[in-house]
Amino acid sequence: MRMSNIVKTSLLSLTIYSLINLFSIKTQAEIGDPNGSNNQPQTGWTLWQRWDKLTDANIDFGFSNMDLGAGLELQQLCFGEVDTPNAEKKQQETYWWRLDNDINQIGSGNIQYGCWINGQFKGTNTVTAYNTSLGTVPCLRVNSSVKNGLIIYEDSTTNSRHLGIVKSGQIVQGESFSLMIFTTNDNLNWVAIKSPQEGWILTGKTGINENVSLCKN
């Protein structure tokens, strides 16, 4: 893949993994539940769930030292100690998590988690996650609504060179178990693919991804 992609990926990783909020997040939720009394998810996200529910969620994250470091920083912020039995106990008691809609739609996206203390999040962390039930590399199919197919671009911009077209109904494969996703300022998702040709495709708006579906759907 082009060097510009590598640089962009590095910048994207830094952006994603640095999204640890070291300040309290004010909410209007009830003291015991970040979902609030209306129990409605924020646009683009699932409802918050308690930490113990993560065990059976088929979600994996924490792929790098940066991920792990951010997790330890969050423990320090929340509890004043790191990787101790007491910190682990408090984590089980206070941590909540939620997923963005991309994970259900294309198999990869973000998980956000944090410590809910005294009716507010004292800190949160947002990192890349993927659905482990989909196998090693998520398979995406171009939706029939995309009449002219999807253009494969050399880079994640419509100004880059056209490398080919994936027709409606055809399958594309990502580069790894966690899709490489670049989200633009206007909330469009670009996904790096390995086949049928290496390049980038535009899957649609983040949280919607109207151009593709998981192959199992």
pLDDT confidence of 30, banded at 50, 70, 90? low
pLDDT at 9: 44
**What's the mean pLDDT when you consider all of the chain?**
85
Q: How confident is the model at residue 37 (pLDDT cuts 50, 70, 90)?
A: confident
**Are 157 and 127 contacting, i.e. CB atoms less than 8 angstroms apart?**
no
Give me the phi and psi of 107, to 5 degrees please.
90, -15
Backbone angles phi, psi at 114, to 5 degrees: -170, 175
Global pTM value? 0.78
* Domains in the chain with CATH codes: 3-133 (no CATH), 139-214 (2.30.30.40)
Q: What digits encode the pLDDT tens for the residues 89-147?
A: 999 999 999 999 999 899 999 999 999 999 999 999 999 999 988 876 778 999 989 98
Per DSSP bridges, beta strands 120-131 and 59-61 are antiparallel
**Contacts of range 168-171, beta carbons closer than 8 Å, 24 or more positions apart:** 168/142, 168/143, 168/144, 169/141, 169/142, 169/144, 170/141, 170/142, 170/196, 171/139, 171/140, 171/141, 171/142, 171/215
pLDDT at 31: 61
Highest-confidence segment of 19-28, 74-83, 128-137: 74-83
